[in-house]
Amino acid sequence: MTPTTQSIQPLVEISFKPSPILNIGANFGPPLSLVNIRGDEHDSLQTDVLRGLLHEQKYLLPKYLYDQRGSELFEEITVLPEYYLTRAEQEILDNHASEIIHRAETEFWLIELGAGSGKKTRRLLQTIQELTVNYNGEISVKPHIRYMPIDISEEFLYESSLALQRDFPTIPMQPVCAEFLQGVEYIVERRNQEQPSAQLLIYFPGSTIGNLTREEASAFVLRLRSLLQPNDAFLLAADMNHTNGKNLHILHEAYNDADGITSAFNLNILHRINRELCTDIPLDAYKHCAYYNAGESRVELFVESTRYHSITIDNCTIPVAAGERIHTEFSHKFSEEMIRNMAALADFSLTATWTDSRKFFGLYWLCAC
């Protein structure tokens, strides 16, 4: 998509002026407006499901795991004892947020891929807010710093941004409802118009990059790089693979928790299809299947049929064999070397790596220089 003046016109603009009482310590609070540049492109669940089930290796796209219920179950996953990823990334931010933020230039815009509402985002914003405290202890808005989360769910984006703006009134915020790269493209355009000297710091948390295939991930990094200027930076979070000593059962159990929450999360995709497409996939015929494939450095998730049945969608009847697996998600894992190589191919250079104490998870500063 080539940037045009039209493509950067907000389609929806919601304004919110925080009540003055929420701005104790600041003379004024920035208004919160949300920009929606998504247009009316929408997912076609039926087309995607049909295409996936007619493929030789049946699959369902992982984005369909995240309906309301799926998102709630994922939140539950993040606090499971077996699911170390979220806590490991949090540990890294707890220990290094200040170093990370101080690596950025004086004028920077923090872009987050995915609406941030949780602890990780708060840790970064807290550190940024500390930069806004003057020598005499007064807090003031720093107009040369901005926080801009990008998310495809407008409602979730707005709610989470509102809560963050209330808690961090000195940081100007501009949520952008868009696909990630579309949102970055829009923000680059605005940076060029409004503050060409601002550095963009693109934070991609959660090891969400692992959901993409290796090819898609490389293409994503390449496309992101092509939008950025030499001074900009990409702060990439990625779960580590087994090659620096992480035990294979740690990886296995993170996706096979004792309480069955990951199982419920995975199988929920079938509930969703039944509900939204009025199909009658026999839910009791399916079980959760997830394992670490060391050769590919990834966890592979499937829903596995325990008996023969067929699924009818739009006059199409698709047989499913006993023991047949339908692929639902990949969770790719990365060594530091893999990150370095993927970065180099896209003309990014890895200039800092942070990990948690167990070296389970990595946070990488990729410089667009």
Contact residues for ligand AVJ, defined by CB under 6 A: 77, 85, 206-208, 210-211, 255, 262, 265, 329, 331
Structure-token pair, residue 224: 């992101």
Q: Which is nearer to ligand AVJ, 220 or 255 (CB)?
A: 255
Q: Which is nearer to ligand AVJ, 224 or 238 (CB)?
A: 238
In the chain, how long is the greatest CA-to-CA distance? Answer: 72
Nearest to 211 by CA among 301, 95, 284, 319: 301
Query: Shortest distance, CB of residue 35 to ligand AVJ, whole angstroms?
Result: 25
Q: Which is nearer to ligand AVJ, 43 or 167 (CB)?
A: 43
Helix (H, G, I), strand (E, B) or coil at 306: coil
Give the integer Cα–Cα distance in Å for 155 and 161: 10
Give the integer Cα–Cα distance in Å for 76 and 80: 7
Other C-beta atoms lying within 10 Å of the C-beta of residue 367: 17
Query: Shortest distance, CB of residue 111 to ligand AVJ, whole angstroms?
Result: 19
Q: Which is nearer to ligand AVJ, 123 or 288 (CB)?
A: 288
Distances 171 to 105, 108, 191 between C-alpha atoms, Å: 16, 12, 17
Pairing of strands 199-204, 176-177: unpaired
Distances 123 to 61, 218, 272 between C-alpha atoms, Å: 32, 28, 34
Query: Shortest distance, CB of residue 255 to ligand AVJ, whole angstroms?
Result: 5
Q: Which is nearer to ligand AVJ, 97 or 267 (CB)?
A: 267
Query: Shortest distance, CB of residue 266 to ligand AVJ, whole angstroms?
Result: 7
Query: Shortest distance, CB of residue 69 to ligand AVJ, whole angstroms?
Result: 14
Q: Which amino acid is at 165?
A: Q
Query: Shortest distance, CB of residue 80 to ligand AVJ, whole angstroms?
Result: 9
Contact 350, 366 (CB under 8 A): yes
Within 8 A by CB and 6+ apart from 98, the residues are 127, 130
Helix (H, G, I), strand (E, B) or coil at 281: coil
Query: Shortest distance, CB of residue 76 to ligand AVJ, whole angstroms?
Result: 10
Query: Shortest distance, CB of residue 85 to ligand AVJ, whole angstroms?
Result: 6
Rg (C-alpha) for the chain, rounded Å, is 22
Helix (H, G, I), strand (E, B) or coil at 190: helix
Q: Which is nearer to ligand AVJ, 204 or 234 (CB)?
A: 204
| Residue nearest to ligand AVJ according to CB distances in the complex | 331
Within 8 A by CB and 6+ apart from 159, the residues are 117
Q: Which is nearer to ligand AVJ, 77 or 162 (CB)?
A: 77
Q: Which is nearer to ligand AVJ, 191 or 327 (CB)?
A: 327
